[in-house]
Amino acid sequence: MNKNLLRKVMFTVGALFMFAPMASAALSFPNINIGMQPANTPQDFSNGIQILIWLTILTLAPSIFIMTTAFVRIAIVLALTRQALGAGSLPPNQVLISLALILTFFVMAPTINKINKEALQPYMNNQITQQAALDRGIKPVRAFMFAQTDEKELALFVKMAKIDKPRNIDDVPTYVLIPSFIISELNTAFKIGFVIFLPFLVIDIVISSVLVSMGMMFLPPTTIALPFKLIMFVMVDGWYLIIKSLVEGFAAAS
């Protein structure tokens, strides 16, 4: 029985070795060649440069998304809220980032709709050129950033860029607007974080004073204060208030 099984296995292996070259010869594989070759026409060179630029933009897409949307303010406020609660790593980073992304898309929905209506759809229907689509698409984003940017930060970067004083928002270059917008968002996020920290700081001070008066100086105040922070945060519906203030803050400035 074992000899018959061994013969079958040897026959199968031998057949595979015999017919493998024939099968590989019958199959045709595509020839993929990636290399640097001289451009035959100026159009080929221009197309290559455009492809390189688009690849660079795709690589920087996450950074561009962070720098030109509401993500910075929302993510920082949520992180400061977790730190004020003193709950360690709860909620986890994945939860906070996911919530920040969802809120960012919610806040940016009107801007995205404008880009789709005024730039993307006409370009997909071959009604405008690629350059015209880019010019139209950047306008809603610039309008959003201008609405959230303080004049003080904008004047600072205009001065450092050593350009003429803009007469209107269209004269402000995008490379000046983006850092001004980011600094303004950081300032706003820290102001909101300060307001969030105050009630939790009061709880920490009260708990520490009570522990010292009771002679429990070696008991960590944060351990005792955490349940009181959580119950207060739940009773005032903290997540509702924070998210409401964030979303309404963007809507009021727009």
Sign of CA dihedral 66, 68, 74, 79: positive
Structural domains in the chain (count): 1
Is the pTM higher than 0.85? The answer reads: no
Cα distance between residue 54 and residue 126, in whole Å: 19
Residue 230 has pLDDT above 80, yes or no: yes
Residue 228 covered by a domain: no
Residue 81 covered by a domain: yes
Residue 115 covered by a domain: yes
pLDDT at 41: 56
- What is the domain range of residue 190? 65-195+238-253
Residue 172 covered by a domain: yes
Cα distance between residue 35 and residue 14, in whole Å: 41
pLDDT digit string, tens, across residues 148-199: 888 888 888 888 888 888 888 888 888 888 899 999 999 999 999 999 988 8
Residue 201 covered by a domain: no
Cα distance between residue 64 and residue 57, in whole Å: 9
Residue 77 · residue 185 · CB < 8 Å: no
Between 33 and 168, residue with greater pLDDT: 168
Residue 40 has pLDDT above 70, yes or no: no
